Amino acid sequence: MGLAASQARYLSLSARKTNVEYEGQQINQQRLNLSNQSADLFNQMLTMSVPTPPSSSDFTKLQYSWTDGDTSSVIDNYYQIGTIDDEFNYVVSSYHYENVYTGQRKVMSDPQVQAKKTNHFSDKTTKNFTVDTITYNSDKDTYSLQMKNGFGQDVTALYRLCDSATNKDTVEELDFLYDRTTAETDGTKFTYNAANDEITYKGATYTKVDITDDAAGKEKQDKLIKTFGAYFDSSKDYYACTTNGTTQYICKDDVDALQLQKSGTVLVRKEDTNRYFTDGSRYIIESDLRALKAGDTMTTLSATNNPTWTDYSSVGNSTLTLITEENYKNDPTINIAIKQIEKDMKAGKGSQSSYEHIKDCFDDNGNYIGGLYQFKVSDKTYFTTAEDLDESLKSAYAEQSVADNSIDSQQTKLSYYDAVYVNTKISEVKKAMMETDGQGRFTTVKFEDDSVVYTLNVETIKDEDAYNDAMNQYYYKKEQYDKQVADINAKTEIIQAQDRQLELKLEQLNTEQSALQTEMEACQKVVSKNIDNSFKTFNS
């Protein structure tokens, strides 16, 4: 090897050795950092306190008790009176359990209250829409519309045929919206002529509608069904009168009831063969629907219904019985129970509305005026009020109602009440004279409102609830401690693995450095030899 080549090789080896030494320094620095992290984790573990389980002795205490022959009482707490008193030396808190007659409020899901409903439709409202598209589905007998409301917003609606054949509510709503009936409550205005089988009303003669099995009879019956809807009854007799092209109907049963009972209403109903469609809340006649085209104004009608209920008959399978004034006065079981229920509802053991509902059944002098009902479930008697029943019934007609009838869709839970004896903790605080046995334990007690000196029983009791709570806290802290230890160990293992990798790499660098040192020494010998040879050549 030439001198220049040897010197270049030596410089290259020297540079590599310097780089190896630098890498070694970096590795040592990394190992130092890992060592510091490991020390921090170890110090962190040293600062952790090991949870210790609670001692049961910390949850035991002496308990003093006595009995008066009927009731067992327990001293809960006591403290010495600060001022000198010859009769009493302690203030004692004690408790005992006794059966207390208590009014209760319960709630029944899906109460299925049944009653007679009277509709009160009001607020006839007209609303206009501008039609964009209208499509009729002959298979489903429905109309699909894309429209804009008065604010220019897009509206999609599906109109179905009204269920007036089975739903009396729909019949009454259509009557209100389209003025299809006239109500008459004066029975003297009706005259029945048995010889001619005719009814005279306001100078007009109504003849019996002959519903026969032939085509003409069936046509007449179809008109009656369309006109009366769910109120049509084939067993009843209907009479018709046509004046100025308009036919009106009267049901003879309504006339008879009004004349015999002097109460009720006869509805003079206009013949109506229209088909009505609805989106669920708004109505329109089909002929008006069919005439619509894009750009036309669609006018719909709607109304508000505020129904009332009477003749409450049952809650589910349980019969409801109205409590009369006579029942309330003469039946002490009912009287006492209701008074206790009202008292406890007022005291906040139920709800404010429950108290108000019960209070409304009495006048300002406390006299019962009605509105209370009772029913039995498994031979146990419960009470409720008309207002509570109404709340459940009204919920069947809310906008979010999903059922088609008033029984299956009652969403408001029914409040109902009873009065029972409940085992209740009674706490008392009294002055007392307590005597000891000379060794710190109390032996007798005499209270300020009692002349009897009671012998105290003493026993060591364990507060199981407090002990269990402490054990639960211990288990929770132990799980936290174990998790922290496991986390530290896991981090330590990672650090140790990283350190082993660095140690292995450092050993490889040491081996490489030794090899470089050996090669540099050999190269240096070659350079020295070349220099010696060169000087000998020039000195010869």
Look up tokens 């009791």; give the residue.
Answer: 461
Band the pLDDT of 56: cuts 50, 70, 90: confident
Would residue 201 be called left, alpha or beta, if left means φ above 0 and alpha means ψ between -120 and 50 degrees?
beta
Identify the pLDDT of residue 294: 94
Identify the pLDDT of residue 478: 93
| Domain assignment of residue 348, yes or no | yes
The C-alpha atoms of residue 175 and residue 212 are separated, in whole angstroms, by 27
244 and 339 in a single domain? The answer is no
Dihedral angle sign, alpha carbons of residues 391, 392, 397, 401: positive
Give the CA dihedral 306, 312, 314, 320, nearest 10 degrees: 140
State mean pLDDT over 88-117.
92
The C-alpha atoms of residue 165 and residue 163 are separated, in whole angstroms, by 6
Identify the pLDDT of residue 503: 85
**359-390: pLDDT as tens digits:** 999 999 999 999 999 999 998 999 999 999 99
382 and 449 in a single domain? The answer is no
Band the pLDDT of 3: cuts 50, 70, 90: low
178 and 292 in a single domain? The answer is yes
519 and 370 in a single domain? The answer is no
Band the pLDDT of 7: cuts 50, 70, 90: low
110 and 243 in a single domain? The answer is no
367 and 478 in a single domain? The answer is no
For the cut 80, the answer to whether the pLDDT of residue 203 exceeds it is yes
147 and 255 in a single domain? The answer is yes
Among residues 412, 444, 467, the one where a domain terminates is: 467
153 and 289 in a single domain? The answer is yes
Give phi and psi for 212, each to the nearest 5. Answer: -105, 175
Percent of the chain with pLDDT over 70: 94
218 and 321 in a single domain? The answer is no
Q: What is the DSSP letter of 69?
A: S
Among residues 422, 457, 492, the one where a domain terminates is: 422
Q: Contact at 8 Å (CB) between 409 and 403?
A: yes
Which residue(s) pair with 414 in the sheet?
108
Q: What is the DSSP letter of 54?
A: P
The C-alpha atoms of residue 111 and residue 415 are separated, in whole angstroms, by 9
State mean pLDDT over 443-462.
92
The C-alpha atoms of residue 498 and residue 398 are separated, in whole angstroms, by 69
268 and 130 in a single domain? The answer is yes
For the cut 70, the answer to whether the pLDDT of residue 398 exceeds it is no
271 and 153 in a single domain? The answer is yes
| Domain assignment of residue 429, yes or no | no
Half-sphere exposure of 495 (CA within 13 A, CB side): 19
- Residue 408: CB partners within 8 Å, gap ≥ 6? 112
| Domain assignment of residue 138, yes or no | yes
Does the predicted TM-score (pTM) go above 0.85? no
Identify the pLDDT of residue 403: 42
**305-332: pLDDT as tens digits:** 888 889 999 999 999 999 999 999 999 9
For the cut 70, the answer to whether the pLDDT of residue 452 exceeds it is yes
Q: Contact at 8 Å (CB) between 385 and 351?
A: no
**130-171: pLDDT as tens digits:** 999 999 999 999 999 999 999 999 999 999 999 999 888 899
Identify the pLDDT of residue 512: 80
| Domain assignment of residue 234, yes or no | yes
Percent of the chain with pLDDT over 90: 62
- What is the DSSP secondary-structure string of 293-315? -TTPEEEEEEEEE--EEEEEEEE
Identify the pLDDT of residue 406: 62
Look up tokens 């288990």; give the residue.
Answer: 475
Identify the pLDDT of residue 402: 44
Which structural domain range is residue 79 located in?
56-97+434-467
Identify the pLDDT of residue 20: 77
Identify the pLDDT of residue 22: 83
The C-alpha atoms of residue 388 and residue 392 are separated, in whole angstroms, by 7
Identify the pLDDT of residue 382: 96
| Domain assignment of residue 248, yes or no | yes
For the cut 70, the answer to whether the pLDDT of residue 2 exceeds it is no
Band the pLDDT of 261: cuts 50, 70, 90: confident
Q: What is the largest CA-CA distance in the chain?
A: 174
- Residue 124: CB partners within 8 Å, gap ≥ 6? 176, 177, 301, 302, 303
User: What is the rounded average pLDDT for all residues in the chain?
Assistant: 89
Nearest to 272 by CA among 314, 295, 298, 240: 240
Identify the pLDDT of residue 207: 96
* Per-residue tokens: 159: 């109109």
| Domain assignment of residue 288, yes or no | yes
Quote the number of domains for the chain.
4
The C-alpha atoms of residue 170 and residue 178 are separated, in whole angstroms, by 12
Dihedral angle sign, alpha carbons of residues 218, 220, 222, 228: negative
Nearest to 456 by CA among 476, 439, 437: 437
Q: Contact at 8 Å (CB) between 429 and 91?
A: yes
Q: What is the DSSP letter of 408?
A: T
Look up tokens 């660095």; give the residue.
Answer: 502
Rg (CA), the chain: 49
The C-alpha atoms of residue 1 and residue 535 are separated, in whole angstroms, by 17
What 3-state class would DSSP assign to 464? helix
Quick one: angle between helices 464-539 and 3-47, nearest 10?
Answer: 170
| Domain assignment of residue 427, yes or no | no
For the cut 60, the answer to whether the pLDDT of residue 405 exceeds it is no
Q: Contact at 8 Å (CB) between 198 and 206?
A: yes
Which residue(s) pair with 380 in the sheet?
377
Among residues 362, 393, 422, the one where a domain terminates is: 422
What are the start-end ranges of the E strands in 31-120?
A: 60-67, 72-80, 90-108, 113-118
215 and 293 in a single domain? The answer is yes
Identify the pLDDT of residue 400: 44
| Domain assignment of residue 136, yes or no | yes
* Per-residue tokens: 499: 């350190």
The C-alpha atoms of residue 177 and residue 281 are separated, in whole angstroms, by 12
